[in-house]
Amino acid sequence: MLPGLMQNRPLAIIDILRFAAVAHNTQEIVSRNVDEPLWRSTYGETMKRVCQAAHGLNEYGLKAGDRISTLAWNTHRHFELFYAGPGLGLVVHTANPRLPDEHLVYTINHAGSRILLMDRNMVPIYERIRDRLETIEDVILLTDSARTNEGYKGFEDVIAGKPAQYDWPGFPEDAGAFLCYTSGTTGDPKGVLYSHRSVVLHALAAGLSGALGFSAFDVVMPGQSLYHATAWGLPFAGPINGVKFVFPCDRFDGASLQELISSEGVTFTGGVPTVWTMYLQYLRETGESPGPLERIIIGGSAVPRDMAVAFAKLGVNVQQIWGMTETSPLGVVSTPTPALAAEGEDFMNEEIWTRQGRMLFGIEMKIVDEEGVEQAHDGEQDGSLLVRGPWVLSRYYKAETEATDTDGWFDTGDVSTIDRFGFMRITDRKKDVIKSGGEWISSIDLENIAAGCPGVRVAAVAGIYHPKWEERPIMLIETHDGTELSAGDIEAFLKSRIASWWMPDRIIFEPVPLTATGKIDKKVIRDRYRDVLSG
Amino acid sequence: MLPGLMQNRPLAIIDILRFAAVAHNTQEIVSRNVDEPLWRSTYGETMKRVCQAAHGLNEYGLKAGDRISTLAWNTHRHFELFYAGPGLGLVVHTANPRLPDEHLVYTINHAGSRILLMDRNMVPIYERIRDRLETIEDVILLTDSARTNEGYKGFEDVIAGKPAQYDWPGFPEDAGAFLCYTSGTTGDPKGVLYSHRSVVLHALAAGLSGALGFSAFDVVMPGQSLYHATAWGLPFAGPINGVKFVFPCDRFDGASLQELISSEGVTFTGGVPTVWTMYLQYLRETGESPGPLERIIIGGSAVPRDMAVAFAKLGVNVQQIWGMTETSPLGVVSTPTPALAAEGEDFMNEEIWTRQGRMLFGIEMKIVDEEGVEQAHDGEQDGSLLVRGPWVLSRYYKAETEATDTDGWFDTGDVSTIDRFGFMRITDRKKDVIKSGGEWISSIDLENIAAGCPGVRVAAVAGIYHPKWEERPIMLIETHDGTELSAGDIEAFLKSRIASWWMPDRIIFEPVPLTATGKIDKKVIRDRYRDVLSG
């Protein structure tokens, strides 16, 4: 080959904000914060604060490649750390405060973070786990000095008086930038280490019309947490397209979201279905209108068709997305095409509402049968969904082997079809994970714990549709012959061993159905109890 | 630094078409061709033909890194070569048939191309220059077998019967893919060698709403030549976004464009101002409407304000772009922002119509004075425009030194301002280049040739506004004392030495104005004769 003669400048996350600060200098960033008045700033001012934060962080003796953990909500300071950290060559581990303490501690220790930056209302969590954190040397509260808890240092004190310029260091574009943990189907959480390259490429592709379709006239309120796969990349796709940002902190209830939507002119938001179910209910109860809101992207679980229809009636487009922490996370987004439009509006809506979405440039997909044979794109044949591309992981953090096959394909664990329109539909999901309000409950963990209860022979857990939480676990118990157990006995046993919200909504005593190969047949359980939590 | 753990799959041009063939399989590609009926195909079918072309080209014993030259119009076959060539690791040199023979021969020899692929009506050019081509081993006509000239092989014969799949080879993403020559201000044309990486990144950024803003509902007709910086990247930005393509071959007259616009539903086109001046005139004369057309991007020369206003009245948005072969070529695109909208519609239109455009993510820009000091973004101070980024060249092909300074900045040769809205305006251009109908005439070449005429002491050439061609050259001649020369004498001398369309529109005998440092003062000439060709 003949090498090209273009500039091989590394892709760098900080360049996204540097661009926005020059080309969209006065575009606004608005943020709620814990116990603080509404924050109102611009890209120009934010760039200066990010430079100050870099100077401030430098005083902690951090070096490139070091990890820092955040335990924070959707706020402007968290957003600033998304640039200051990677700008310095640090890796930002976005710790998930919804994890059980044990998993939270595991992720921070596994990341080996030296600094923990957290919102003020995370202090109780921190004080509960601090003795188990093995590598944290310093803690910074994401507050101003007036509101910093006794004995803690506030972020505004760290950056105060620092220069508003920074001479950002250069490093290769495959340098790590974000460490996001996924609670897998079993065992410890696994870390996915995004690089500058993967984040920038994902951000470019995410802004296109076939994905999020951002323009500088969009006002984007991330309704998905910044600690969930970097809020699906919005903090990077947004500034590239010059959007106004509105950060809701931790207030995802209908009234709080509606207040920001109407006062700040939010046109675009997103999140898990639970949040938007609550919002719809709020609109119904108050009779208010979604006003400026044009689009909601929903992922994390399949979008209930009724929700899409209800929003459509209010003039809001609901677009499903599918992705995983391992895919940065955008895999597919449900956006229209002329080929669908040619089939008529009803057909197009059905496709858009019932498929996870259509393919994006940058994520190769194939579905294969058990022998690895590729299946046709006919919308009928399903198979294991494999993905490949520059924002798909290659290996989990500290793992000793690749997470992909030798051709680079990553097995998503989902089973899906792909149709002739390029739309992918999940037909059977990772059977052992339950998505409750956007958080994952591992059914295998629950089964293993319940199996430890004296008298239990087999415990089987399945996720069942729930009108508010999307899914909740139910548990089937087969007892050893002659053993008498009640649901109360099982609950009492589980209570001290699991997070309270992992408790099954139903505990049912009956023989556990098995597949031909002797595995628990979750599909049969789900079919049998499909409606048990809907009433 | 800590290396990230995402897939470092190289960016590859062929992946763009592979994506479109899966995700937009039935989207159309329509093409005029020399002496052939209208071609109508799809991305799915085109991918198969590209695979067949790869098999066909393999029979010529080409190896990765080899160059092939095209001498071709905007047709589907040319488009197919844009994928088949780079897919094989070949470098496609898009030769410019409008160059004087001497320059055309120079570029093909300098590229060292082994194969020449050309449209049927290029045969006269080829037969004129064939004896001077030093490296061409084979010639393929971009025709079907029925219409191939006697003694030539046709493209359809090369690909006929070949397998419709191809196992594309892998190579580093900085491998060369396209070699585009720019006729600089002086001396020989210079080659810019685009890489797979630069082309793919440019295509991703070009599709965003701040640039071309493509969606799958767009019908894109490239009105700029495929041999001009790959038609500004449309052949790559288009398929990423699933657009329908309409290729007009070499028929850029108003009636021919209008026929395709209305019959194929073209929403988006682009080109140099000359083409769109002719199109506007056609609409005026016929009273026809631009119908489905929504946007025209215009570059190569500044857009006359009157043209933008005239199109706006017809419901068509005119957007200026600025770029160079050296910048792949998109540098800025004139798209609206909320900050401009807040100033009112008149203000916004004025900004959009009179600036070259606003900054894009991926192209860093700065303006510096003669000491290299960066100038403020106030829309007033001007300076040399320097650019940097992953789709800016680092070095000309076969040059021995970098084309950039040590920090990677490339001096565009243009002088510009940047304003607080991030919009760039060229205030003074490369003084020695004349843009006539989208083609460049080197005034220095013309001056040097004229200076060879017996009796001429100094010849000065400047570009003057021309209502049809944007600019045409005029020439000032100072004779040696006592010499008598007429305009006819000069014309007779030039005639055999230059392409006919380089002939100055006026030859004027008078003292040549000089600057303080003794250089020809083109600005004085342009001011003095500003209106001489407008009448």
Q: Is the Cβ–Cβ distance between B214 and B268 less than 8 Å?
A: yes
Banded model confidence at residue A300, pLDDT cuts 50, 70, 90: confident
Cα A426 to Cα B394: distance, rounded to the nearest angstrom:
45
Banded model confidence at residue A185, pLDDT cuts 50, 70, 90: very low
DSSP result, B478-514: EEPTT----HHHHHHHHHTTS-GGGS-SEEEESPPPB
Q: Which residues contact A502 (CB under 8 A, 6 or more apart)?
A: A100, A441, A446, A473, A494
* pLDDT score of A74: 98
DSSP result, A489-533: HHHHHHHTTS-GGGS-SEEEESPPPB-TTSSB-HHHHHHHTTTTT
* pLDDT score of B518: 58
pLDDT at A517 over 80: no
* pLDDT score of B121: 95
- How do residues B9-28 score in pLDDT, each as one tens digit? 899 999 999 999 999 999 99
**A198 lies within 8 A of chain B by CB:** yes
Closest CA to B11 of A402, A241, A6: A6
State in Å, rounded, how far the first CA of chain B is from the last one.
65
Cα B344 to Cα B346: distance, rounded to the nearest angstrom:
6
pLDDT at A304 over 80: no
* Mean pLDDT comparison of A350-354, B191-195, B477-481, highest-scoring range: B191-195
Which residue among A28, A80, A264, A326 is the active-site one? A326
Q: What is the mean pLDDT of chain A?
A: 93
* pLDDT score of B507: 96
Question: B217: helix, coil or strand?
Answer: coil
Mean pLDDT is lowest, of A20-24, A127-131, A325-329, A459-463, for: A459-463
CB half-sphere exposure, A444, CA atoms < 13 A: 11
Q: Which residue of A has its CA nearest to B406?
A: A7
The one-letter code for the residue type at A246 is V
- Strand duo A470-479 + A456-466: pairing: antiparallel
pLDDT at A72 over 90: yes
Interface of B with A in 228-267 (CB under 8 A): 240-242, 244
Mutate to test the interface with A, among B14, B29, B361 (most CBs of A within 10 A): B361
Taking contacts as CB-CB distances below 8 angstroms, the residues of chain B near A197 are 4, 6, 8
pLDDT at A431 over 70: no
- CB spacing of B1 vs A172 below 8 angstroms: yes
* pLDDT score of B183: 66
pLDDT at A516 over 70: no
* pLDDT score of B463: 92
How many Å lie between the alpha carbon of A51 and the closest alpha carbon of chain B? Answer: 19
DSSP annotation of B74 reads B
pLDDT at A165 over 60: yes
* Mean pLDDT comparison of A219-223, B379-383, B463-467, highest-scoring range: A219-223
pLDDT at A442 over 80: no
* Mean pLDDT comparison of A50-64, A294-308, B298-312, highest-scoring range: A50-64
* pLDDT score of B416: 87
Interface of B with A in 39-78 (CB under 8 A): 64-65, 67
- How do residues B394-428 score in pLDDT, each as one tens digit? 999 999 999 999 999 999 988 888 999 999 988 76
Taking contacts as CB-CB distances below 8 angstroms, the residues of chain B near A360 are 23
Which residue among B48, B162, B244, B435 is the active-site one? B435
Mean pLDDT within A392-418: 94
* pLDDT score of A148: 87
pLDDT at B516 over 60: no
- CB spacing of A241 vs B210 below 8 angstroms: yes
* pLDDT score of A439: 77
B63 in active site: no
Banded model confidence at residue A430, pLDDT cuts 50, 70, 90: low
Residue with more model confidence, B516 or A18: A18
A182 in active site: yes
A143 in active site: no
**A13 lies within 8 A of chain B by CB:** no
* pLDDT score of B235: 98
pLDDT at A507 over 90: yes
pLDDT at A311 over 70: yes
Taking contacts as CB-CB distances below 8 angstroms, the residues of chain B near A205 are 204
Cα B168 to Cα B13: distance, rounded to the nearest angstrom:
11
A435 in active site: yes
Q: Which residues contact A38 (CB under 8 A, 6 or more apart)?
A: A30, A31, A32
Banded model confidence at residue B87, pLDDT cuts 50, 70, 90: very high
Which residue among B440, B470, B471, B522 is the active-site one? B440
Taking contacts as CB-CB distances below 8 angstroms, the residues of chain B near A25 are 339, 420, 422
Cα B472 to Cα A251: distance, rounded to the nearest angstrom:
64
Which residue among B156, B326, B351, B471 is the active-site one? B326
Other Cβ atoms closer than 10 A to A509: 14
Provide, rounded to the nearest whole percent, the portion of chain A with pLDDT above 70. 97
* pLDDT score of A186: 54
**A463 lies within 8 A of chain B by CB:** no
The one-letter code for the residue type at A73 is W
Cα B144 to Cα A451: distance, rounded to the nearest angstrom:
72
- Cα R_g (chain A), whole angstroms: 23
Banded model confidence at residue A494, pLDDT cuts 50, 70, 90: very high
Mean pLDDT within A504-524: 82
Closest CA to A478 of A527, A514, A502, A516: A514
Adjacent-strand bridge partners of A442: A433
Banded model confidence at residue B432, pLDDT cuts 50, 70, 90: low
- How do residues B280-313 score in pLDDT, each as one tens digit? 999 999 999 999 999 999 987 677 777 899 999 9
Q: Which residues contact B263 (CB under 8 A, 6 or more apart)?
A: none
Helix (H) / strand (E) element for A348: namely helix A345-354
Using alpha carbons, list the distances in angstroms from residue B178 to A360, A492, B399.
25, 70, 16
| Total beta-carbon pairs less than 8 A apart between chain A and chain B | 254
Banded model confidence at residue A39, pLDDT cuts 50, 70, 90: very high
Q: Which residue of A has its CA nearest to B399?
A: A5
Helix (H) / strand (E) element for A102: namely helix A101-111
Cα B258 to Cα B282: distance, rounded to the nearest angstrom:
9
Cα B427 to Cα B414: distance, rounded to the nearest angstrom:
8
pLDDT at A273 over 50: yes
Interface of B with A in 386-415 (CB under 8 A): 388-397, 404, 408
Q: How many residues does chain A have?
A: 535
Which residue among A409, A435, A439, A471 is the active-site one? A435
* pLDDT score of A520: 76
Provide, rounded to the nearest whole percent, the portion of chain B with pLDDT above 90. 75
Residue A123, phi then psi, degrees to nearest 5: -55, -45
pLDDT at A399 over 80: yes
Closest CA to B412 of B440, B396, B397, B392: B392
Q: Which residues contact A49 (CB under 8 A, 6 or more apart)?
A: A41, A80, A159, A164
Q: Angle at which helices B305-313 and B273-286 pack, to 10 degrees? A: 40
Nearest to A4 among B27, B175, B240 (CB): B175
**A334 lies within 8 A of chain B by CB:** no
Closest CA to A170 of A236, A239, A93, A88: A88
* pLDDT score of B185: 45
Banded model confidence at residue B209, pLDDT cuts 50, 70, 90: very high
Nearest to B2 among A22, A176, A404 (CB): A176
- How do residues B108-128 score in pLDDT, each as one tens digit? 999 999 999 999 999 999 999
* pLDDT score of A432: 64
**A366 lies within 8 A of chain B by CB:** no
Question: A62: helix, coil or strand?
Answer: coil
ipTM value? 0.86
* pLDDT score of B482: 80
B516 burial (CB, 10 Å; 0-12 / 13-18 / 19+) is exposed
Provide, rounded to the nearest whole percent, the portion of chain B with pLDDT above 70. 97
